[in-house]
Structure 1
Amino acid sequence: MSGTPARTADAATAAEVVCLGESMVTFLPSQPGRLADVPSFGRGIGGAESNVACALAAAGHRAAWVSRVGADGFGDHLVEAIAGYGVDTSGVRRDPSRPTGIYFRTATDRATDVHEVAYYRAGSAASAMSPDNIPYATLPATRVLHLSGITAALSADCLALLHDLTAPRPGRPLISFDVNHRPGLWRDADASPEVLLDLARRSDLVFVGEDEAEEAWGVTGAAAIRAALPEPATLVVKRGAEGATVFSGTGDVSGTAGTQDAADVPGTGDITTVPALRVDVVAPVGAGDAFAAGFLSATLRGLPVRDRVRHGHLMAAAVLTVPGDLTAPPARAHADSLAALDDEAWGRLRLGPGWTGDDQEVRTT
């Protein structure tokens, strides 16, 4: 990438990606059913940005997670669990007066209306993140700063922090922004579309689903989304089972410095569409975060745009074929060999549980 790190650091030790946002302790049900009927829960971790950091670290990248957690046992668990994936958690601060956020969810599909999620995150330590307690100057040196719209919804201070971090400045790392529109998190739901649109326009690489763009901005189709977001040098439109379409104004995400004026960025630029894989889905949780991690991983390696999308699909497929938000990604050589397939062979792939293992055969149909 041509953008210089936010801070001076040894290139061999600086983080390749810094992910900033709230992570929570997740309570997963022991059996399907209403929350009122579930007798017990298992403990996990959940958070869009920390999921991306964990996936990138598991894929062999230097990833850091920056956030705030309570000075409590749940905060201890989050920091220890995320560090266990190989993520640098030295940028996580403890808040003695606010708790770590937690949430409970049912075992059914939370991507549909057949689910329940109960959040206990109001007043959490992470919701108090601000430009005062996480100033830009203190962020670890990095090539990419990954953010999401979830943080903007947590509080006015969190929104101010995202505005500060996405402001144009010399040496700013590439800003990666996942829209992650969550209407239920916004106190003022009417404000969320404009806020998310503004943050996306201030970013260099944007991930957004067709469905959430229609819900938030009333625009339908990849071309209409690009028309609404001409500023980002790279726009990744996720289209569910149809795959993903990438609009890249420069033709190379890794060449974005992150300091250009909006008027200097081409409008549509190059367009690359990559079909989705056929996957035997176990649970849909965490697939969007995994896709972003796969795309960022391939971006850091300077791979062509088509292969960046394919690595996103492969990382998502790894998560889709397990019950939880996180899993070990396929070995790099394995993923590279699949990403390099010709279009016909790619289209015949079918991935099911266990496909990421070295001794597993990948099915074709």
Structure 2
Amino acid sequence: MNTPRPLRPGPVVCVGETMAALAPDPLGPLDDAELLRVDIAGAESNVALYLADHGIPARWVSAVGDDPFGRRVRARIAAGGVDVSGVRTDPDRPTGLLLKDPGERGTRVHYHRRGSAASALTPDLLDDPAVSGAALLHLSGITPALSPGCHALVERALRPARPWPVSFDVNHRPALWTGRSAADVLRPLADRADIVLVGLDEAQALWGEALTGARAVRDLLPGPHVLVVKDGARAATAFVGADAHSVPALAVRVAEPVGAGDAFAAGFLTGLLRDLPVERALRLGHLTAASALRVAGDHGPLLAPDVIATLLAADDETWRAADID
């Protein structure tokens, strides 16, 4: 197991690409849409936005194009209370774009991000003052898929002598891994991080159906001091050292699941940063995920503060019976 690195004062710095996102309005199949709504989409900036919602200082560091989409992305994230002073503007490369295509079997995503401004990021980004003062550096498995330079950035961020602890959301996106093995890249990266979040289903897709439960994922990834294995609408289990803590998921009215994993990560990290017991940090993850599940976009408003406080303090029976509409 990796030597635990303590969390320290300062902002959580989230590094990764955010794109402009086009989705049908009203929500439905893209082929049938007459109007498209312009939004933004990015795993790491989603985490930053939800951290800011919880009152945690958060900074998003990336690059956007010198174009209307890039200006929209920067402005939307800044409006959410996130520090965007470390975002670079690339005069030669565009802001990435994705199209959402909702359907009966879930939402398909079509990416237009090859050659984007963020795909040109390199390890030198980590020398920027916007990163060097991080209390915690948050990364995802999306970034190493974008380019060799982005892969090198994540490798350097996870070097043994790094000055900050790193949280790493595996966030496997199969469409981005053309010509390379995501399984071979993401496993060693995740195993070097301090805090790791992964879905049981994505762990099985990456590393084999023999991973029948959270404990098997822990055996595969013994390095992180904290490992969270999310089992969809059933439960999330956090391993802290050798100890396991499991909290059932909430019943939630789901508008669209996209963004819920990022929200969960932000809620759980907020709990750790506030030094909550692990079970309460998991509950805060579930409660924050509900904010994303209840809206069509990636980022929705938090539940009312009194609802969050009541459910964080509730007994197990009350927690299991809760239904978020």
Q: RMSD across aligned C-alpha pairs, in angstroms?
A: 1.7
What secondary structure, in the 3-state scheme, does the structure 2 residue paired with 1:116 have?
strand
The answer to whether structure 1 residue 41 and structure 2 residue 43 are counterparts is no
Among candidates 313, 320, 342, match of residue 286 of structure 2: 313
Counterpart in the other structure of 1:254:
none
What secondary structure, in the 3-state scheme, does the structure 2 residue paired with 1:281 have?
coil
Partners of 1:168 and 1:4 in 2: how far apart?
16
What is the one-letter code of the residue matched to 1:158?
C
What is the one-letter code of the residue matched to 1:183?
P
5 Å matches for 1:203-222?
A: 203-218=193-208, 219-222=211-214
Partners of 1:318 and 1:287 in 2: how far apart?
8
Q: Which runs of 5+ in 2 are unaligned?
A: none
Report how far residue 4 of structure 1 moved. Answer: 6.7
What is the one-letter code of the residue matched to 1:206?
V
The answer to whether structure 1 residue 81 and structure 2 residue 76 are counterparts is yes
Identity %: 48
What is the one-letter code of the residue matched to 2:315?
D
8 Å contact from structure 2 (residues 23, 30) kept in 1: no
Query: Larger Rg: 1 or 2?
Result: 1
Distance verdict in 2 for CA 1:308–1:208, change over 3 Å: same
Counterpart in the other structure of 2:225:
233
Report how far residue 328 of structure 1 moved. Answer: 1.8
Report how far residue 69 of structure 1 moved. Answer: 0.6
**TM-score calculated relative to the size of structure 1:** 0.84
Which range moves more in the overlay, 84-93 or 272-281? 272-281
Counterpart in the other structure of 1:284:
257
Counterpart in the other structure of 1:187:
178
1:128-152 CA distance string (max 9 Å, x none):
01113x1345314121111000011
Aligned residues: 319
Report how far residue 32 of structure 1 moved. Answer: 4.6
The answer to whether structure 1 residue 26 and structure 2 residue 21 are counterparts is yes
8 Å contact from structure 2 (residues 70, 95) kept in 1: yes
The answer to whether structure 1 residue 148 and structure 2 residue 140 are counterparts is yes
8 Å contact from structure 2 (residues 7, 273) kept in 1: no
What is the one-letter code of the residue matched to 2:14?
C
What is the one-letter code of the residue matched to 1:82?
I
8 Å contact from structure 2 (residues 5, 164) kept in 1: no
Partners of 1:30 and 1:128 in 2: how far apart?
32
1:215-241 CA distance string (max 9 Å, x none):
001133111101100010010000012
Q: Which has the higher helix share?
A: 2
1:281-309 CA distance string (max 9 Å, x none):
12212110000010011111000000000
Among candidates 257, 260, 272, match of residue 245 of structure 2: 272
Q: Which runs of 5+ in 1 are unaligned?
A: 6-10, 250-268, 353-365
What is the one-letter code of the residue matched to 1:174?
P
**TM-score calculated relative to the size of structure 2:** 0.94
Partners of 1:274 and 1:136 in 2: how far apart?
38
8 Å contact from structure 1 (residues 280, 321) kept in 2: yes
The answer to whether structure 1 residue 304 and structure 2 residue 277 are counterparts is yes
Partners of 1:283 and 1:32 in 2: how far apart?
10
Partners of 2:244 and 2:258 in 1: how far apart?
28
